[in-house]
Chains A and B, each alone.
Chain A
């Protein structure tokens, strides 16, 4: 970006920050925030539950098609170089084979615009897809086989012989670092911030910690394998996909194949877990390319190994955290710097400094993420990118500082609570972390914790407690839009190109829409996951709740305007503007006078209309530049560590959350718990082992990449402040990602309290506490 653009952007940002609250989206609190006893927050069972428990929910690889073919991929066995020869004759001659596609016969494809390079770009990287003989990572697809059955495709694939010429891959982190790093840039923002001279403040501080933490590669490992079923229907490419970005994917695939955007129809009614991984990867494009040549529908379902080979995960990080403090615990210096690996062809520098930008006040800051390049599958967004691993470093270091100071770690955190955003100076929209700490500590029995480590033993087990803060920002991305239809019999339908991957979106948003429109829940339907619907709503950054919420507010306003027009002068509502009217008991009602009302049926009946449909776009998310908007959690963990075997068991866990209003107590509790459980995996077992000699992931299976199982997971207690954010739609900030943040540190700090051993390298396996 040029200096002039930077300067203009800085001026605009300043202007938004200084503008009156009332000019901002959310400047006038959403009236729904004051609805205390209706559907908002009610523990409604998920609407799609009966379909899912009976096996009737249709996932993308479960759409039968006539003349369907099945695909299998062959993956590169080297990390960088070229294909000298590829022998496909035996595969082509194998029974049932319809097509063997390699770079020699693949159709010409444009490169996929990489994620965030354009508003709807969704490419995993900017590499050509099976267009030449170049190899960029160990695991890159080099051939695709289509056959009449999956068994035939898998078998034929095994006959393909490839000869490679390897060319100096960079596959060791030390080698990548030796080549030098570059500053990380995340969503257009440099991952580098300085306030004052932090190194000097650290040197002068009477108390300090200065340590290095490392986190390994992680994989999302959703249980549904990445897959799609697709076919050309005339000029339209019809794709059944598992997607958390239907509009983005369709647009990007259209660019790759030189199509108009509306020639790609992509639907994704159910997604079997995503966590950041159910985006566009090579398999959808290769399947569509194969369907183009073979003129047959294609189903591709990656093997579990295939998912590890071509779907990127969270990258490796090395983090230095240095804290300098006064004797009273107040921070003089907060330094969080380090190195992450990415590839030469993507742009995802794991932004582990994000938590340090807003959680604590400090006189000085130095935050910096440097990136180094390796030849590996493009790393990507995984649940709480940045925060999940960044809080491990920062919150472990806060625990170390508490030990150094002889202070209670909760007290240390509360003493460093900022009164405004420590870096931007913006006012917080709502911040209840101190309350969350106090509620959580009381409920968990924190007062029973011994301050000195290794003090509690039962038989062969040492028992300890630890805590950590979690944090995740409020996001709302541009692109929100919704269609709202209301019928004379009082049924409403919201259609929006959003996603349900198990978060409970369809259920919680139906509750919100019903409350907003003044209709019973049974009369409201939320349709999603289809490119025919308006909006480009990424299920990422925990932003769907806000994006859908703001779109719905805009759509309802448009609907009210339309209905007031239809109601005319004979209505009790005559003379009122759209801002003075809300939904109430099956119709519209003046906000300040409950006697002025008319039902939807009456308005539509008089106007002789069966239905009214409107479409509206959400305003630009300027609230993000005007307030500092963040969710927080106070996490409490109890572990038992076996002194003979080193086995670590998490025996109790409590998450105390401050995330604004909770929309559905049942599904929200599940999301919090789910995030915490993935955090237990991060803390104790998850590690993709990258062979630095070959660049190959060595444990590409669920037998060897360990995730938490039933016996690893105790009952997890979750509570929340439920204090609405006055500047967010419905007062709610998204909750999909905050659950995982801070968990790694809470476990590590509990392990320290139990054993006196400080583990700074994830995962905390038993060998590290022996």
Chain B
């Protein structure tokens, strides 16, 4: 079967039970997406599929044949970090670093949702075309990504710094 992972085509034979997360980790050795619960409760496995964030532990690899998958490794790397990755370092939006790739991928996906006007539980104006990134909007939408070290304040600051001016066009790299 084939998938496009971080802009490259990959081909593997996998068990139909293999999750997208295990495909990435155990078969492609892309360990950036993390396993924290394997049941969709912690968000550590968050990746982008065609630009939308999903919990890769709840997705079967076979369901996603041919789709464009972006993992943390596809966003940036040391020396050429994505602006959000850089902001996480500067605002100390991490401690142990285990939930971090999921937080970052999730925030990139969240920004796209706001731009499309997808409302949330705390959205005041449901008709808005673009939803502003308020403090509550951000925290509500990121609540599926747990951080047990409690780096939440730094994470929020990093996301605000990177995506605070959401009326602006999307940074080029993130739709990769």
Contact = CB atoms under 8 A, between A and B. Distances in A.
A503 B95 contact: yes
Contacts of A676: 150
A50 B15 contact: no
B37 A713 contact: no
Contacts of A303: 38
Contact of B18 (A61, A151, A501, A502): A151
A151 B17 contact: yes
Given A45-B92, A56-B77, A502-B94, A304 B37 contact: yes
Contacts of A675: 150
Contact of A715 (B18, B31, B81, B153): B153
B31 A59 contact: yes
A344 interface: no
Contacts of B151: 670, 673-674
Interface in A275-312: 275, 301, 303-304
Nearest to B156: A710
Interface stretch (B82-90, B111-119, B123-131): B82-90
Interface stretch (A221-229, A579-587, A750-758): A221-229
A677 interface: yes
A612 to B, nearest CB: 31
Contacts of B155: 710
Contact of A54 (B78, B139, B140): B78
A176 to B, nearest CB: 30
A241 to B, nearest CB: 15
Main secondary structure of the interface of A (DSSP, over half): loop
A703 B38 CA distance: 11
A53 B98 contact: no
A678 interface: yes
Interface size class of A (residues with CB under 8 A): 35 or more
B39 A304 contact: yes
Contact of B31 (A55, A275, A701, A709): A55
Contact of A53 (B39, B81, B140): B81
A222 B96 CA distance: 9
B164 interface: no
A3 interface: no
Interface in A57-95: 57-59, 61-62, 64
B146 A53 contact: no
A225 B97 contact: no
A272 B98 contact: yes
A716 interface: yes
A150 B26 contact: yes
Interface residues of B, number: 64
B12 interface: no
A713 B155 CA distance: 12
A57 B37 contact: no
B109 interface: no
- Which residue of A53, A149, A676 has the most chain B CB atoms within 10 A of its CB atom? A53
A585 to B, nearest CB: 28
Given A53-B94, A56-B77, A275 B148 contact: yes
A504 interface: yes
A56 B78 contact: yes
Contact of A49 (B36, B88, B149, B150): B88
B53 interface: no
A669 interface: yes
Contacts of A703: 37, 39-41
Given A59-B98, A674-B149, A702-B37, A666 B92 contact: yes
A216 interface: no
B150 A674 contact: yes
Contact of A149 (B15, B35, B143): B15
A442 interface: no
B92 to A, nearest CB: 5
Contacts of A701: 37, 39, 41
A273 B149 contact: yes
Main secondary structure of the interface of B (DSSP, over half): loop
Given A52-B97, A304-B38, A710 B143 contact: yes
A151 B96 CA distance: 28
A154 to B, nearest CB: 8
Nearest to A54: B77
Contact of A709 (B18, B29, B143, B156): B143
Contact of B42 (A52, A223, A666, A674): A223
B96 A224 contact: yes
A544 interface: no
Contacts of A710: 138-140, 142-143, 145, 152, 155-156
Interface in A149-181: 149-152, 155
B72 interface: yes
A677 B153 CA distance: 10
Contacts of B92: 45-46, 49, 666-667, 669-670
A59 B100 CA distance: 13
B94 A49 contact: yes
A594 interface: no
B16 to A, nearest CB: 9
A738 B55 CA distance: 34
Nearest to B32: A55
A49 B104 CA distance: 13
Contact of A50 (B34, B89, B148): B89
Interface string A685-709: 0000000000000000111000111
Interface in A707-748: 707-713, 715-716
Contact of B146 (A57, A59, A501, A702): A702
A270 interface: yes
B133 interface: no
Given A670-B149, A712-B143, 18 more contacts: A49-B92, A53-B97, A54-B75, A55-B33, A62-B31, A151-B15, A222-B96, A223-B99, A273-B96, A275-B148, A304-B41, A670-B151, A674-B150, A678-B150, A702-B146, A703-B41, A715-B156, A716-B153
7 contacts: A49-B94, A55-B32, A62-B31, A64-B29, A222-B96, A223-B42, A674-B151
Please provide the 7 A-B residue pairs with the shortest distance between their CB atoms, ordered closest to farther: A55-B32, A52-B97, A502-B95, A272-B98, A677-B150, A502-B96, A674-B150
